[in-house]
Every structure is written in structure tokens, then in C-alpha cells.
Chain A
């Protein structure tokens, strides 16, 4: 059985990779994908801790073991779908305005 630490370490590595990509890359599409990487890493950590801490569920009559981490991950997936839809719409509007997807061209409020 793989211990939960290995999952958490993998999740931290994925999160660091995604964060570095978010900070370093200037392509808005790649920036959005880096956010996806970070959210996937957090989902992995949540599910791993859920598997590690199998407390009895709050509603004992319905649920044998707590699914709290998995439910969190489920909502993160839903929020992420919404984020991607709105983010890509903003990318399209930005491209229409500036004809580029470089994030440092978004300087309409500068000066």
C-alpha cells in the first residue's frame, strides 16, 4: 500500500510546477493551464487525505465513511469548469482588443 505521504509529496511537486508556470509564462492560455495544474494538485491532496482519515461520516445513517475530501474535490472541479469558461471568454475578448495573448500587453489601465 502506497503511504499517503507519497501522494502529498507528489501533489506538492505538481503545485510548485504549476505555480512556477503561472509566474514565469506570459501566454495567457498557458497561465490558465498552470492554474489547472495547481487545482489538480490540490484535488489530489484532498482525496489522499480523505483516504487516509476515514472518519465515520456526519450523517451516520446514510454514509458509512466520510467523503469530505472527495466532496471538496468535486466542488473544486465544478468551480474550475466555471473558471475556465469565464477565463477563456476573457482571453477571447482580450485577443479581439489587442490581437495577442501575451499577458503583459494587458496594460490599458497603465498611466
Chain B
């Protein structure tokens, strides 16, 4: 039983660590989202081992079912522009900052581990009631002890939805623009700059630029097929 528990913990921990490394290290954001999914599965498995069944279900539903899908939706919407080309500018400062943070975190971790080792006493893991972490007990705790924060969190989600709509909608719908005005408004900088960008011919609004380019090109040349399903 103990061996099975250790094996389960190791598998879930490896899943979570591998997923986190995949998020941080992958060049393609879709692979990053898959790494996030692995991390979520691993942490949900650890929640199950920690007698938090309801939280494990919530983790799978909210994270894997909503947040990862939202990430994937935005990545697909942005098309190839979602993966930025590698850029070495400022790599020294980035590595220095990240390394400093990592070393500080690992130093704190090492200190804590040594302190726990010297204390010769592990944290207790008492066996809880069978109902602990289930939906009955958790719901009772939520609505008895944390009713006000629960209601406030509904307000938070409401404000977040309205704010996300307001931010993502942009200036569309404020006034009706003519077609040329709309075309100008959707390209906020000169078309030469848009041509210089390697990823500007695909993505959310890329097809308009592409059409513009096709019109500017010689009429005998057929328009190249748009990539990324932009049309």
C-alpha cells in the first residue's frame, strides 16, 4: 500500500514537473498549453492523494476544461504570430534575473529542507474523516465559514467578464466607419511596416493586409493562397 502510494506520488510529481518545464521551455505556445494540461493533471492527482476530491474535480473542470481551452482558443486565433521568433536581445539580463530568482528560491528551499532534516520530525499527516474534502464537507465549510468571500468572488467573476469584453472589443461599434476608414483603422501603422513583419500575412486580421498586398502586386500574378485559414 505504501509502495503504491509512493509510486502514485512520484508519477504525479513527475507529470507536474515535466508539464511545468514544458510550459517554460517550449518555443511553441501550443506545446506550452499541453504542458500546462500535464501539470494540471498531475496536480489534480496530488489533490486526490491529499484527500481533496472536490478540489481535484474543480481543478479538472475549471483548468483543463476552461482555462487551457481559452489559451488554445487565443493561440489558434493569433495563428503563427502566437509563437514569437527567438530573440537574443537582452538575453543576459533575462538569464541574470531568472537565475537570481531561481537560485534564491532554491536556496530558501534548501534551507527549509535542512531545517526539517535537523528537526528530525516530519510534518504529521493525520488520517482525516472519510467525508473530508468531499462535496458535503467542503460545501459546508465554504458556506459556513467563507460565505462573504464566496459572494464577493461572484462579483469578481462578473467584473472580469465585463472587463474582458470591454478590453477585447476595442473601438469597434462606437461609430460606423466607411470601408476605407475601416481598412485604415485596422492597420494602425504604414503598410510597409506590416510587410516587413514576417508574420503579418496571417492571423486575426492578416488576410486584409494580404489582400492589400495582392492588389498592389502585378495583376497577372495570381494571389498566393493565404495560410493559417485566414480567409
User: Which residues of A pack against B, CB within 8 Å?
Assistant: 1-10, 12-21, 23-27, 29-30, 32-34, 36-37, 40, 43-44, 47-48, 50-52, 54, 57-59, 62-68, 70-71, 73-75, 77-86, 88-93, 95-97, 99-102, 104
Contacts and interface: CB of A to CB of B under 8 A. Distances in A.
A21 B23 contact: yes
Contact of B145 (A18, A23, A57): A57
Nearest to B149: A75
B98 A88 contact: no
A85 B160 contact: yes
Nearest to A85: B164
Contacts, number: 281
7 contacts: A8-B112, A10-B46, A30-B32, A40-B40, A52-B126, A63-B144, A99-B200
A102 B87 contact: yes
Interface stretch (B65-73, B173-181, B216-224): B65-73
Interface of B is mostly: helix
Interface of A is mostly: helix
Contacts of B94: 23-24, 26
A89 B77 CA distance: 12
B168 A92 contact: yes
Contacts of B132: 54, 64-65, 67
A84 B84 contact: no
A91 B74 contact: yes
Given A23-B101, A92-B74, A30 B55 contact: no
B225 interface: no
A29 B82 contact: yes
